[in-house]
Structure 1
Amino acid sequence: MPEIAEVEHARRQCHKHCLSRKITSVETVPDELIFVNNTSDQFASILEGRTVVDTKRWGKYFILLFDQEPHLVAHFGMTGDIKFKHEKSKEEWPPRFWKTIITFGKAAGHQEGDEETIVMAFCDARRLGRLRLVFGDPLTSLPISKLGFDPLHNLPSIDDFFTMVIKRAVPVKALLLDQAFSAGVGNWIADEILYHSRLHPAQYSNSLTKKECETLREQMEEVCRIAVESEADESLLPANWLMTYRWNKGKGKGAGVLPNGHKLDFITVGGRTSAYAPSLQKLRGANPSKKTSSRKRSLKTEENEDDDTKDLKKTRKPRKTANDPTSTTGSSKIVKSTGNSIKVKRRSSTRLRGSSNS
């Protein structure tokens, strides 16, 4: 699942390429899951004519602010991404699994060498991403308003952070994944934070000392900041991070051994596979097991971080047919908005790796 680093990278790309540009046309593939509270036709019609004036991010959501409401709030789900036509070859466009393709006109203050138009696609193979049009301030409106603090925007003071942590009785890994606690932290970043904090993923939050909470808080900010500064490029991450060595449960680079000589192990905590170094991250008060589950609770982890992903269990992977817009063969129904009319036509259709189970 795209986490804070990947989403911030997407926001920066949008800011770089789309700022001060007016939307001239919008193509969409009908999808009742991706488009929230509007049909794909309505989405296309509403967006046409708006100009991007700013971009924002909170947790795993990124926002395009327009010169008039509503604004676009996007979430990648498990496999979502954005792609730009000028960065792809002709053979790669349109990209597979695209849900909307938005064309932006010439930017205000256009300079020589700037792209005349920018074409951006939102893609999602598993259809767990979401595109919303939100009135008012998106940061104080649903769904963002119900999220917890963002580690890079409003990290709580140590006293407040300590109180927030110890009042919960859950494994600390599950707490970090709870988007109502901290927005933007996902599976691999949570493991990275706990590794550098020297905390076992299954250690219960209400057993942490204030010193441990202080370290945890510091590492949340530092790990998220470094991950974001890497622009979601794994090769730019520090050599002493778990990220490069965790793949295939330690059977990849390093064969499960970190540069400092400590071995990796993997357990299930909060429903997610967790990578950790047992010799450095020791569990106090209980013997660790390969599967560690907490009591039944209403925790919203990254798999169930908002109302969007309640569709997860009941959404099946769509079958590809001749008319399936996500198929690479056949034709698909495309809704295109130009001006005030909506046309329907037929047409053919080494960033950070997801860590949903690694």
Structure 2
Amino acid sequence: MPELAEVSRIVHFIRQHLVGKSLSKVSTQNDDIIYGKAGTSAAEFQKAMEGKKVVGAGQQGKYFWIAMSSPPHAVMHFGMAGWLKIRDADTYYYRTDKPADKEWPPKYWKFLLETDGDPTTEAAFVDFRRLGRIRLVNCPEDQIRKHSPLKENGPDPVADKDVVTEDWLAAKLRSKKVPVKALLLDQANISGIGNWMGDEILYHAKIHPEQYSNTLTDGQAKELHSAIHYICSTSVDLLADSEKFPEDWLFKYRWAKGKKTMPTLLNGEKITFLTVGGRTSAVVPSVQKKTGPVAKEVKGEEESEAQNNTKRKRGAAVKKESDAEQSEEEPKIKKAAPKGRPKKIKEASDEKKPEVSEQPPAGRRRSTRLKK
């Protein structure tokens, strides 16, 4: 999912290519999920945007907006796989050489924008998983953050540095008894931090992701505050281009999960993977020690999966003993109840995720910006 840094990248390109230009043509495709779940329709979006001038763009965490010359304004969320493409611009945070990604209009587009002037600029919102959201917010531009869904979300650590202070964070940590990783991912607390950024922050702060937030010491809270601003500000300044990320970042090495050899940092320290709050977390055990109570004793994913498989096999082999009146020829077998997967922590800003109705293209995103 695009996180604070990736969304900041697209806001940068909107300001560079669209702000100051009028939308001479807006095309939309009806989608009752992407538009409808956000309370609008494709037709309403087209009518509200066409013929108006783009006067600004902004961001709060994973949400971003395009401000128009008059209300309403477009407020969007990429969900898991959405993105805004601008024709002939390198907007993507990962590189691809697939011919299909060069097509225009692109596949899975939800709206197409075309500006006036010469040359024109063309942009498209794409989302093959249909988990993104496109809505209209009818208010003055400077009031967008005071309306839903932004008003329900926490401060943005880059845009709201004066809010996300050491004292503010310490109070937030003390007010909740949840794994610290879960606290960071909850958009009602802080906007924009997702899985990879949360792992990077905790690694640099030397804090185990499962430790209860209210057990962190004053020193740990201070380190966490410093790490939040360092990771968020640096990744935003670099436009989410991972090739430019510092070599000591966990991000550079975490993507080897599932390979035969365990991934390691540049200095040789091993990276393990844990499930925290239903999300895979990359952890460096030699750095991130448990210094207080944790939500549970978490095991590595490979070990947990192996144990689950063993239990399932044993459960399938065990038969319930016959009742006194039950014949031996027709024994009743009670199947062991399957163990459910841990529930994912719901981010305050996220809508209920619909089932995927379209087949995704081959391949998956593994990093913020992959090399060619």
For normalisation by structure 1, the TM-score amounts to 0.80
How far apart are 1:353 and its partner, in Å? 2.5
1:133 pairs with 2:175: no
Give the 3-state SS of the residue equivalent to 1:256 in structure 2. coil
Which deviations, in whole Å up to 9, do the C-alpha atoms of 1:315-357 show, x marking residues without a partner? Answer: 221146xxxxx99xxxxxxxxxxxxxxxxxxxxxx997279xx
Q: Which position in structure 1 is the counterpart of 2:351?
A: 309
Partner of 1:98: 109
Is the CA contact (8 Å cut-off) linking 2:179 and 2:213 kept in structure 1? yes
CA contact (8 A) 2:2 2:78 kept: yes
Q: Please name the residue that 1:111 is paired with.
A: none
* 1:19-46 Cα deviation digits (max 9, x unpaired): 1101111111110111122211121111
Between 1 and 2, higher relative CO (CA 8 Å, sep ≥ 6) is seen in 1
Contact 2:278 2:344 in 1 (8 A): no
Question: What do the CA deviations read for 1:180-232 (whole angstroms, capped 9, x no partner)?
Answer: 00000000000000000000000100000111111101110110011112212
Compare 282-291 and 199-208 and name the one that shifted more: 282-291
- Deviations 1:120-164 (CA, angstroms, capped at 9, x unpaired): 000001101111110122111110011101111223221222111
Tell me if 1:282 matches 2:289: yes
Q: CA offsets, 1:84-111, max 9 Å, x none? A: 12348895111121111111112xxxxx
8 Å CA contact 1:250, 1:257 repeated in 2: no
* Residue pair 2:61, 2:193 contacting (<8 A) in 1 also: yes
Distance 1:174 1:78, change over 3 A: same
8 A Cα contact 1:179 1:305, kept in partner: yes
2: CA distance between counterparts of 1:86 and 1:234?
21
5+ residue gaps, structure 1: 107-114, 293-298, 321-325, 328-349
Partner amino acid for 2:203?
Y
Identity level (%): 38
- Aligned equivalents of 1:177, 1:244: Cα separation in 2: 21
- The corresponding residue for 2:63 is 61
Structure 1 CA distance for aligned equivalents of residues 67 and 20 of structure 2: 10
Aligned pair count? Answer: 308
Match of residue 200 from structure 1:
208
- What code does the residue aligned with 2:121 have? I
> Higher strand fraction: Structure 1 or Structure 2?
1
SS at match of 2:75: strand
Root mean square deviation, CA, Å: 2.6
